[in-house]
Amino acid sequence: MPKGAHDDAPAGAKDKNLVHSLAKGFRVLEAFTAEEPELLQSEIAVRAGLDAGTTFRMLNTLVSLGYVAPVPRTRRYRLTLKPLELGFNAIARRGLRDLARPVLRGLVGEVNEAASLGVLDDVDVVYVERVQAGLVRMGVDIRVGSRIPATTSAIGQALLAFLPEPNLDAVLAASRFERIGPDVPGSADEVRERLAEVRRDGVALTDWASVNGLRVLAAPVLDRDGYAVAAISVAAPAMRTSRAEIVERAKAPLLARAQELGLALAAFS
């Protein structure tokens, strides 16, 4: 959109009580489309009707806030999934969320715990759907829009294990490795070792018994090419479920539901 294209906006849009800098920020976000998800700064400026300097400042602000990310090894930018936290405005994920909800409910019914759906966003997993049967009483604060580092979590490791190698390399290169728990890989090499186990077993298991009292088992949701587009997980209180028990109880239904969701997505797309 050329500069000045917003000059014919309704009078209300020019009200002196509006925060025009905020409006400009949203125009930058709205420059991205499903057809063109990656844009140069100059392209964003044209579409948003802003000058180069304003566009530069807006992009830097949005990057620092996590709503926009630079595309590695290019001069382009893309939206992240953080707008999920403002009301699930990532429309492309809406079909996935709707398809996953009954699948997650079925898992909670089978394993009597919590079930979650996550997708990869840069180096984090973003939770896009969650069904639970009582973990709120344990003080576990995970909800739609929550983000956790992919390398530290079962749901993230299930995703990473089935990524194309260049994508995995990019995630590991950008990740920070901190031993925030006894079952957390502390380096890229340790992550790769863990991911090899996930590919062998088909599921990822994270034991957070000494951190938040949970054990989490996750499985990837694969596309037609065998790459992960999402992952689903179940969580069980460690005080009631050993590592062996959660695998015995949850692995088969988890894999079945992940496959079910993958087939549904293939048909839906």
CATH of the domain at 215: 3.30.450.40
Q: Quick one: 99 and 51 in the same domain?
A: no
pTM greater than 0.75: no
What letter does residue 34 receive in the DSSP assignment? S
What letter does residue 210 receive in the DSSP assignment? T
Q: What is the structure's pLDDT at 267? A: 67
What would the DSSP string read from start to end of 117-145? EEEEETTEEEEEEEE-SSGGGGT----TT
Cβ proximity of 155 and 182 under 8 Å:
no
Q: Quick one: 69 and 16 in the same domain?
A: yes
More confident residue, 65 or 85: 65
Q: Residue 5: count other Cβ atoms within 10 Å of its Cβ.
A: 13
Direct distance between the N- and C-terminal alpha carbons of the chain, in angstroms, rounded to an integer: 30
Q: Within 13 Å and on the Cβ side, how many CA atoms surround 196?
A: 6
List the Cα angle 22/25/26 in 5-degree steps: 95
What three-state secondary structure class fits 195?
helix
Rounded-to-10 torsion of CA 173, 175, 180, 181: -60
pLDDT tens for each residue of 198-225: 999 999 998 764 556 778 899 999 988 8
pLDDT tens for each residue of 29-73: 999 887 888 999 999 999 999 999 999 999 999 999 989 999 888
Q: Quick one: 75 and 92 in the same domain?
A: no
The rounded mean pLDDT for the chain is: 81
Q: Quick one: 244 and 121 in the same domain?
A: yes
Q: Residue 11: count other Cβ atoms within 10 Å of its Cβ.
A: 6
**Averaged over 144-168, what is the pLDDT?**
90
Cβ proximity of 121 and 80 under 8 Å:
yes
- Which residues constitute the domain of residue 48? 5-79
In this predicted structure, the answer to whether residue 226 has a pLDDT above a threshold of 50 is yes
Domain end, chosen from 54, 79, 104, is at 79
Q: Quick one: 166 and 193 in the same domain?
A: yes
pLDDT tens for each residue of 91-116: 445 567 778 877 888 787 655 678 88
Give how many domains the chain has, as a whole number: 2
Q: Quick one: 25 and 138 in the same domain?
A: no
Q: What is the structure's pLDDT at 268? A: 59
Q: What is the structure's pLDDT at 176? A: 83
Question: Which backbone phi and psi does 120 adopt, to 5 degrees?
Answer: -85, 130
